[in-house]
Amino acid sequence: MSDILVTGAAGFIGFHVCKALLERGDKVIGIDNLNDYYDPRLKEARLSELAGYKLFSFQKLDVADRAGMEKLFEKSEFSRVVHLAAQAGVRYSVQNPQVYVESNVVGFLHILEGCRHHKISHLVFASSSSVYGSNTKVPFSTEDFTDHPLSLYAATKKSNELMAYSYSHLYQIPTTGLRFFTVYGPWGRPDMATFLFTKAITEDRPINVFNFGKMQRDFTYVDDIAQGVLSVLDRPPVSTIEAPDTKDGQESLITSKLPAPPYKVYNIGNHQPVELDYFITLLEKLLNKKAIRNNLPLQQGDVLSTYADIDDLTHDTGFVPVTPIDKGLASFVAWYKSYYG
């Protein structure tokens, strides 16, 4: 197995992807800026877990640091990149837009430039189901229109897809974007619903239930996500040349198609949307406590439903999520009790 760079290695998904790569024998170089968007101690605890693997090395580095990223690519020998570092959070992007552009747009440019100049064989990067915006057609398909993002976070993720396509076209860099759908599980982010609800219920504090619980999310267990990332990483896209349109056996210069670059975008989700009300009820059973619900209207930038069409991903890689919501939530609650006591 070859060396692999994982950005955002101390993050929730990054940690699990690193662990999955290491457990199958890959050498992993992880970077993260360890910012304080949420408690850095949780990030450090994840890194402590990874430090037990001989094939793991870590460098504290911000992808927005141009000089630092150039030096990293020049000195390291990784041949593939899994780019998961980003400023996350839909609602936080309303309050701190500059941070999102710096990390998600400028930082991503530095990744693309590194891949361009150092002959990276495959770049896999994190997009988001947020790019679907106000789309009401379900399940969400990668063929759907995605030009109406409802938050700056979503806009930065859509820009990543466009930037990656252009670099793949210009420099023939095999590139794959993954639109993640509501990832949850052990070591999860404290700003996400699973963590927030569990913490509040155990502490007898009210939980904010937006749109009065009448929302659906395609909750996807993090181990399924990690295996999906690996299956994609191992199958870089290739350039294709589509047959031109013809008329009476003659090629039409107007309708002939250009070669497609080695670029793909996939949805990666559970393909099983769950209503927020049901999700909270499951948590109540697992915690043996009733939630104190503070019902609120839909928040700015939020969408009513997410639901992933994963047929393309399954067809191309064999990816099939295997963790039902009750089993996944039980694993999260067990980890939460173990970690926080």
Residues known to be catalytic = 153
C-beta neighbour count of 205 within 10 angstroms:
12
Q: Classify residue 259 as exposed, middle or buried by CB count within 10 Å of its CB (0-12, 13-18, 19+).
A: exposed
Contacts of 300 (CB under 8 A, 6+ apart): 91, 94
- Exposure letters 54-66 (e unless 16+ CB within 10 A, then b): ebbbbeebbbbbe
Closest CA to 115 of 59, 167, 150: 167
Contacts of 125 (CB under 8 A, 6+ apart): 82, 83, 84, 108, 111, 160, 164, 175, 176, 177, 178
C-beta neighbour count of 268 within 10 angstroms:
28
Query: Strand 250-251 and strand 183-184: pairing?
Result: unpaired
